[in-house]
Structure formats: C-alpha cells, structure tokens
Amino acid sequence: MIDANVENLTRIFNENKEKRICVLGTTCTGKTTLIKESKIGLDMDEEIFPLLNEEETEYVCRTPWTEDIGRKMDELVRTRLSIKPGVPMFGTVLLDADLIVYLHIDDELLLERTKSRNVDFLNAKNMQQKIEEEINNSNIETIVLEVVQNRKKLS
C-alpha cells in the first residue's frame, strides 16, 4: 500500500481525470485535510448536510452509529449527490463511481485519532467495516492508500 499523502492523491487524480472518483474512509482518516491540502475534490458531508431537513440531520447524527443510521445516510447521499469526472468526492458512502480511492487506517492509529478528537472508536470502526464491505461488493477498481501518522515535526 502507498501512503495517503497529498502527492500520491494528486498523482492518482491527475492520472484519472476522466473518471468519477469516490474517496472513501472512516471518520478520522484525514479526508478534510487531504481536500484542503490538495485543493481537489468535494467533502460529501459539506455537500449533503445543506440538502437535509432537520429530522433527517438529527437521525443520521445520532450515536452510537448503527447499521440503520448507515443505511439511511447511504440512501440520502445516493439519492441527492453524484460524482462528476475530475471532481473527486470524499466521504463515507460509496457513490456510483469509476474508481475508488480507499483511505485505510489501522486500529492503533484510528484509536489514537478518535481519542484526540473525542470521537467514539467503536462508531469509527463500525463505519470502516461497512465501507470495506461496500468496496468488496462493488466490483469497482480500487486503489488503497494507507493512512499514516503525520510526520511533520512540531516546533
């Protein structure tokens, strides 16, 4: 697997400009950071939440995360969003795409990141399992990028 860094992601996007690319990863995998640093792509949450009513938003934001919540969010996203070629969509729901870029994170780093962000590890892990099952069942070409600890030195 290759590191999920901006250079690798930008290269993949440039090599696949004609494709609809869905970048998937559970919470705390760095999707928002990668969008900001690469200046490429859309955040699924930023795209979907303005389209939801109050009741829908309250339901999909409940904790703990459950398969029912996941199914409802999938339904809402799939009926209201689509990916355009050259504009990758980063999120947790697999949309109709030509290429998946999967941001894989190991349990140790996921635990560290969820603790530091006050996010429930079990919810993040459940979401990761759901994403992996969808990818495995999709028959869509997939590139796996490994999420690694930020190596920047703090001064």
Distance CA 2, CA 145 (A): 5
pLDDT value at residue 153: 38
The pLDDT assigned to 1 comes to 59
Flag whether 151 is in a domain.
no
Q: Is residue 66 part of a domain?
A: yes
Does some domain include residue 57? yes
- Contacts of residue 149, Cβ cutoff 8 Å, sequence gap at least 6: 109, 112
pLDDT at residue number 152: 46
Residue at 154 is within a domain? no
What's the one-letter identity of residue 11? R
| The residue count for the chain | 155
Is residue 39 one of the residues assigned to a domain?
A: yes
pLDDT, one tens digit per residue, over 77-106 is 999 999 999 999 999 999 999 999 999 999
Q: How far apart are CA 139 and CA 155, in angstroms?
A: 45
pLDDT in tens, 44-63: 999 999 999 999 999 998 87
Q: Distance between CA 7 and CA 84 in Å, rounded?
A: 22
Q: pLDDT tens, 23-35?
A: 999 999 999 999 9
Helix (H) or strand (E) holding 42: strand 42-43
- The answer to whether residue 155 sits within a structural domain is no
Residue 75 maps to a domain:
yes
Report the 10 Å Cβ neighbour count for 150: 11
What CATH number has the domain bearing residue 68? Answer: 3.40.50
Angle, CA 92 vertex, CA 81 and CA 80 arms, to 5°:
15
Closest by Cα among 66, 67, 92, 70 to 81 = 92
- What's the structural domain count of the chain? 1
Domain of residue 38: give its range. Answer: 2-146
Which of 5, 8, 12, 7 is closest to 100 using CA atoms?
12
Spatial contact of 31 and 113, defined as CB atoms under 8 Å apart:
no
